Amino acid sequence: MWVGFFCDLFRRVAVFIFFVYAAKPDTLIIKMPDVDNKIRCGDHLEFEEKVAGLDRQMNELRRLTSIKGIDYSAEVRRLQREQVAELKRIYSKLTAWQTVQVARHPKRPLLPDYLNLMVKDFREFHGDRCFGDDRAIITGFGQIGRGKVLVIGQNKGKDTKEKVACNFGCPNPEGYRKALVKMKFAEKYGIPVVTLIDTPGAYPGVGAEERGQAQAIATNLIEMSRLRVPIICICIGEGGSGGALGIGVGDRLAMLEFAYYSVISPEGCAAILWRDGSHAADAAEALKLTSKDLYKLELVDAVIGEPLGGAHRNVHETVYNVEKYIVKTLADLKCTKIENLLENRYRKLRSIGMSPAEKLRRKTLAGRERIRAAIEKIPTKAKPVPAKV
């Protein structure tokens, strides 16, 4: 009896819910979480109009399939092939300004994504022992691959509240001092340092200048150049001005394929040279800030590949590529003696901006000196003096 009663009650409630939401079909909407930073129609960049159109067509076909029950899978696959071909065409010849836009994409993986997916057992450290804890720079120990490392990264923040707390990724002097204190701690125990660069520049506020912004960055440049542990620096997004250099001195400097690294942002350069920020595209082209340009100039040691269409289209693959590079590079650096590591780091820094001829001369200088020293050690016989007649 009770079973029949509950079955009848359930049937009545189900019918009531059906008629209520049939009259208002828009009220029963379940918002699915944004898993894996999937690209939606509003997340396309301005030069991806055709890709956005293909996405809209595929979404419409999937919607019709769920409503009418008609199989449009063949058409969806054809559109997917067209989309892949279009993405290859676009991203094979990006301009400098388009590269900057990709590096600033709101869905691009940030420091927390790398910490969650790449670093095991991460333990964050806070404070600079002087003023406070700058949330634009995150420091902590963790494990990448099989080795323990100190991770130092710049965080832009994901939502508005976090962005404001992080100054939109612009560090204060206390952030750089915090990074230096933790690097000294890692040096004491022989733990390598990995820095992840992603900032439009150091915070330019009055308070930051009063607390010694320039001095904090300069001190980091000096101390990192002679830190007695391996240092790997990777630009994962924006690398702007001294804000990036403050944690950017190391044995290896790598960049993601569609990141940029520059002495100034394109907008700032345009405001200085043209007195107009609308010339940012021209400034980006003149600055030679892309990974391809910097690799040709030998300012960057390696370019880490990104998935088709940028890192924001496949976060896991991007993080895996970065992790693979760190593990391989750390294994190579650990095989080098500390004295040789410091000497190579010094020569690397001194060679920046040097002409190819001067680089070749300095590269072969040691060999020429060895040859000269060997020649001087060769014993020479005195020539016999002819007898006087």
- What type of residue sits at position 379? P
CATH number at residue 107: 3.90.226.10
Residue 167 lies in a domain: yes
Query: Which residues lie closer than 8 Å to 57 by C-beta, 6 or more apart?
Result: 79
SS3 category, 112:
helix
- What type of residue sits at position 350? R
- Tell me, what's the pLDDT at 374? 76
- Tell me, what's the pLDDT at 44? 86
Domain that includes residue 84, residue range: 37-93
Same-domain pairing of 46 and 127: no
Same-domain pairing of 152 and 79: no
Residue 212 lies in a domain: yes
Name 148's bridge partners. Answer: 143
Q: Write out the H or E segment, with its range, that includes residue 184.
A: helix 173-188
Q: Are 153 and 144 in contact (CB under 8 A)?
A: no
Same-domain pairing of 107 and 195: yes
Same-domain pairing of 191 and 118: yes
Write down how long the chain is: 389
Same-domain pairing of 60 and 148: no
Q: Are 170 and 136 in contact (CB under 8 A)?
A: yes
Residue 286 lies in a domain: yes
- Tell me, what's the pLDDT at 302? 94
- Tell me, what's the pLDDT at 105? 92
Residue 189 lies in a domain: yes
Phi/psi for 150 (5° steps) reads: -100, 120
- Tell me, what's the pLDDT at 369? 75
Residue 323 lies in a domain: yes
Same-domain pairing of 79 and 130: no
Residue 10 lies in a domain: no
The interaxial angle of helices 338-350 and 213-225, nearest 10 deg, is 130
- Tell me, what's the pLDDT at 328? 95
- Tell me, what's the pLDDT at 37? 52
- What type of residue sits at position 228? R
How many other CB atoms sit within 10 Å of the CB of residue 29?
A: 6
Residue 63 lies in a domain: yes
Same-domain pairing of 254 and 117: yes
Task: Choose one of 93, 125, 158: the last residue of a domain.
Answer: 93
Same-domain pairing of 340 and 293: yes
Residue 188 lies in a domain: yes
How many other CB atoms sit within 10 Å of the CB of residue 224?
A: 23
Same-domain pairing of 106 and 173: yes
Task: Choose one of 67, 93, 119: the last residue of a domain.
Answer: 93
Phi/psi for 146 (5° steps) reads: -110, 5
Same-domain pairing of 211 and 87: no
- Tell me, what's the pLDDT at 318? 95
Task: Choose one of 93, 112, 129: the last residue of a domain.
Answer: 93
Q: In this structure, what token pair is assigned to residue 299?
A: 């300012």
- Tell me, what's the pLDDT at 306? 94
* pLDDT tens digit at each of 389 positions of the chain: 444 544 554 455 454 444 433 333 333 333 333 444 566 655 888 888 898 899 898 988 988 888 888 888 889 899 999 999 999 999 999 999 999 999 999 999 999 999 999 999 999 999 888 898 989 999 999 999 889 999 999 999 888 888 998 888 899 999 999 999 999 999 999 999 999 999 998 988 899 999 999 999 999 999 999 999 999 999 999 998 888 999 999 999 999 999 999 998 898 899 999 988 889 999 999 999 999 999 998 899 999 999 999 999 999 999 999 999 999 999 999 999 999 999 999 988 888 877 677 766 766 777 777 777 777 777 776 666 666 65
Angle at 329 between CA 137 and CA 119, to 5 degrees: 45
* Parallel, antiparallel or unpaired: strands 137-144 and 120-125: antiparallel
Domain count, the chain: 2
286: buried, middle or exposed (CB in 10 Å: 19+, 13-18, 0-12)? middle
Same-domain pairing of 122 and 42: no
What's the distance, Cα to Cα, between the start and end of the chain in Å? 147
- Tell me, what's the pLDDT at 41? 54
Same-domain pairing of 276 and 200: yes
**Residue bearing tokens 């403050």:** 246
